[in-house]
Structure 1
Amino acid sequence: MKPASFEYHAPATAEEAVALLADLGDEAKIISGGQSLVPMLALRLAVFEHLVDLRRLDDLRGIVTEGDSVRIGAATTHAEVGRSEAVRRGVPLLARATPLIGHFQIRNRGTIGGAIAHADAAAEYPAVALTLDARIETLSPRGRRTIPAAEFFTGMWTTDLAPDELVTAIVFPVWHGRCGFAIEEFTRRSGDFAMAGAAVAVRLDADSRVERCAIGLFGLAPTPLRATRTEAELIGRPVDAAPEEIGRSATAGLNAISSDVHGSADYRRRVGAAMVARAWRRAVEEARND
Structure 2
Amino acid sequence: MNNVLLEMLRESAARKWVQYGEVETIRDVTVGNQKEKLIIINYQGEFVYCKEEDFEERKLGSYQGFMQTRVPFTVKDITEDENGSVITVSRIEGLKKVAEQFIQSVREGDVVKGTVTGVDDNGLVFLEVNGYPCIIPPGQWSIERPPNLKETTPIGTVVEAKVLTVDALENKQKTSVSHRVRLSRRDLQINELEERWKNIDAYYKPNDNVSVKITGQAVGHNSYFCELPNGISIIGNLTSPLRDKYNDYLPPGVKATGVIKFLDKDNRRGKMIIRKVEANHANILQNQTFGAL
- Which TM-score band (shorter chain)? under 0.3
Larger strand proportion, structure 1 or 2?
2
TM-score by length of 2: 0.24
Larger helix proportion of the pair: 1
